[in-house]
């Protein structure tokens, strides 16, 4: 499977997973000069806005997908989230950055959801 196709399939699976948990998807693939946010969603309990990076792999040969988030990528995600927040007409009191890692080795992927990227 092509990398782009696998990535899109992973993002779709992650969005479905979040919606099944009651989350509301606000935007997908939001772009600005700093980068792209795969999924922007809000949680059902507190309405926290969550910026979600989705990493999908077809195997763990190169390590788990979450291991690919380094300090440079984390900083870029923070800048991109800040750009989205600055464009909102209303103050967003609560937000965080999450990462969802998917390993798609069979019919259903193994999903890992890391909440609150440091």
- Global pTM value: 0.89
Alpha-carbon gap, residue 111 to 65, rounded angstroms: 10
Length of the chain: 118
Whether the CB-CB separation of 109 and 16 falls below 8 Å is answered with no
What is the residue range of 12's domain? 3-114
pLDDT values of the chain reduced to their tens digit, one per residue, 118 residues: 576 777 788 899 999 999 999 999 999 999 999 999 999 999 998 889 999 999 888 776 666 777 777 788 889 999 999 999 999 999 999 999 999 989 887 778 889 898 987 6
Number of structural domains found in the chain: 1
| Helix or strand holding residue 57 (H, E) | strand 49-57
Sequence-separated (6 or more) residues with CB below 8 Å from residue 29:
11, 36, 37, 38
What's the CATH number where 105 sits? Answer: 3.40.1350.10
């Amino acid at each position: 499977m092509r990398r782009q196709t696998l990535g899109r399939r992973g993002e779709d699976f992650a969005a479905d997973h979040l919606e099944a948990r009651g989350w509301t998807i606000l935007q997908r693939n939001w772009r600005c000069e700093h980068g792209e946010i795969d999924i922007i969603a809000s949680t059902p309990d507190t309405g926290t806005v969550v910026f979600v990076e989705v990493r999908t792999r077809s195997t763990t040969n190169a390590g788990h997908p979450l291991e690919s988030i380094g300090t440079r990528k984390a900083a870029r995600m923070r800048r991109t989230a800040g750009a989205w927040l600055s464009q909102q007409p209303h103050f967003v009191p609560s937000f965080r950055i999450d990462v969802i890692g998917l390993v798609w080795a069979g019919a259903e992927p193994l999903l890992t959801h890391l909440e609150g990227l440091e």
